[in-house]
Amino acid sequence: MSGSSPVDAAIGAHEHLATRVAFLVAGVAIAAWAPLVPLAKARTGLDEGTLGLVLLCFGVGSLVAMPLAGWCSAKVGGRRVIGCAVTLICGALPLLAFVERPIALAAALLAFGAGLGALDVAMNLQAIVVERASGRSMMSGFHGLFSVGGIVGASGVAAALSAGIDVVTVIAGLSVLLAIAIVATARGLLSAASHDRATPFELPHGIVLVIGLLAAAAFLVEGSVLDWGALFLATVRDVPVARASAGYIAFSIAMTAGRFAGDRIVQRFGGRRVLVAGALCSAAGLGIVVVVPSSLAGLAGFALVGIGGSNIVPVLFTCAGRQTAMPENLAVPAMTTMGYAGLLAGPALIGFTAHATSLVVAFAGLAALMLAVAAMARRLPA
């Protein structure tokens, strides 16, 4: 099996816990930034267009760090990569809470994105080893904790700010807690280097290219629902603006629930069937959103998109660990980079399509894309 690790046989409870904590920390960290965006805009005095360009620094940092994280994980082990990544995250987060110059905000976002990109790759590489050694499906549960972290991070920071606590105090305290969580579970982070071929970057090929394209499509849909779902309900279905975010909330809750049920489902039916069924479910949900002229149907549709998409990315990471076309320390960064590219490009593509046609046509395109995912998923290992 490609990418098998010399530590597979030594996996135990400490490694399981450390993997779960890493996913939780990543979810909390990325979600903690969301409530800070309007505050950063006000401090720096940026208009929407310039802020959009500055926000791209997050994506640039992530995309640059991902292949390097795979290379470093093979060279020195995931423990050091995760440690460095979390150090970068916890150092950059407080800066995002108080910097006032646009160039400083851009630099902090670059570092923050690099830390999260590196953490994403390293923790998924560890998850592949832990899942493989356990002999059972675990990836969906790990990603479920990332989703929980997102809910906890966004709601926790928002609640603390609403209570009148100073933003720097909130974010600094959160950064300390994240660092403590990683240090406390560091014993379970894999320290052994891999015997896989290690290069800083290799273009995805063979089945890894298919896996990466599927990941890009899944992330594209997720990013589009995040950025455009509320606007769709508000402008197309006449949902009041104050309640339009309910679509994304329904999507997020359904995705989180689906991931916690996912390991049992994958264990019973197999990853390939779950991929096909999940993509078809997402396509059906998007079809309901587009076709049925009802706000309640829209909420139900977005929930179906979340349920269907919940286990697509976790199963794809498992596939990246099973394939033999590339070593996993190269396959996982390649897949993750393509996925993030889809996440970054998706909202812009929806915007261009909606401008040229309409939001209804743009969301219909997402449904067609998920049908294509279902068709392509049949090529993957079972």
Return the HEC string of the chain.
CCCCCCCHHHCCHHHHHHHHHHHHHHHHHHHHHHHHHHHHHHHHCCCHHHHHHHHHHHHHHHHHHHHHHHHHHHHHCHHHHHHHHHHHHHHHHHHHHHCCCHHHHHHHHHHHHHHHHHHHHHHHHHHHHHHHHHCCCCHHHHHHHHHHHHHHHHHHHHHHHHCCCCHHHHHHHHHHHHHHHHHHCHHHCCCCCCCCCCCCCCCCCCHHHHHHHHHHHHHHHHHHHHHHHHHHHHHCCCCCHHHHCHHHHHHHHHHHHHHHHHHHHHHHHCHHHHHHHHHHHHHHHHHHHHHCCCHHHHHHHHHHHHHHHCCHHHHHHHHHHHCCCCCHHHHHHHHHHHHHHHHHHHHHHHHHHHHHCCHHHHHHHHHHHHHHHHHHHHHCCC
Give the per-residue pLDDT at 381: 67
Spatial separation of the C-alpha atoms in residues 129 and 24, rounded to whole Å: 18
* Mean pLDDT of the residues in the chain: 90
Spatial separation of the C-alpha atoms in residues 357 and 59, rounded to whole Å: 28
Token pair for 224: 């589009």
Instruction: Indicate whether 281 pLDDT > 90.
Output: yes
Give the per-residue pLDDT at 193: 67
Give the per-residue pLDDT at 382: 57
**Measured between alpha carbons, how far is residue 60 from residues 109, 112, 122, 343 in Å?**
9, 10, 18, 12
User: What would you measure as the largest C-alpha separation in the chain, in angstroms?
Assistant: 57
Q: What is the 3-state secondary structure (H, E, C) of 109-154?
A: HHHHHHHHHHHHHHHHHHHHHHHHHHCCCCHHHHHHHHHHHHHHHH
**271-291 vs 359-376: helix axis angle to the nearest 10?**
160
More confident residue, 175 or 205: 175
Give the per-residue pLDDT at 214: 96
Instruction: Indicate whether 215 pLDDT > 50.
Output: yes
Confidence of residue 213 (pLDDT cuts 50, 70, 90): very high
Which domains, from first to last, does the chain contain?
A: 8-188 (1.20.1250.20), 207-379 (1.20.1250.20)
Instruction: Indicate whether 201 pLDDT > 80.
Output: no
Instruction: Indicate whether 196 pLDDT > 60.
Output: no
Confidence of residue 2 (pLDDT cuts 50, 70, 90): very low
Give the per-residue pLDDT at 344: 84
Give the per-residue pLDDT at 243: 81
Mean pLDDT on 264-288: 96
Confidence of residue 197 (pLDDT cuts 50, 70, 90): low
Mean pLDDT on 221-236: 87
Confidence of residue 379 (pLDDT cuts 50, 70, 90): confident
Instruction: Indicate whether 154 pLDDT > 70.
Output: yes
Q: What is the 3-state secondary structure (H, E, C) of 222-259?
A: HHHHHHHHHHHHHHCCCCCHHHHCHHHHHHHHHHHHHH
Spatial separation of the C-alpha atoms in residues 127 and 117, rounded to whole Å: 15
Tokens 């499509």, residue? 217
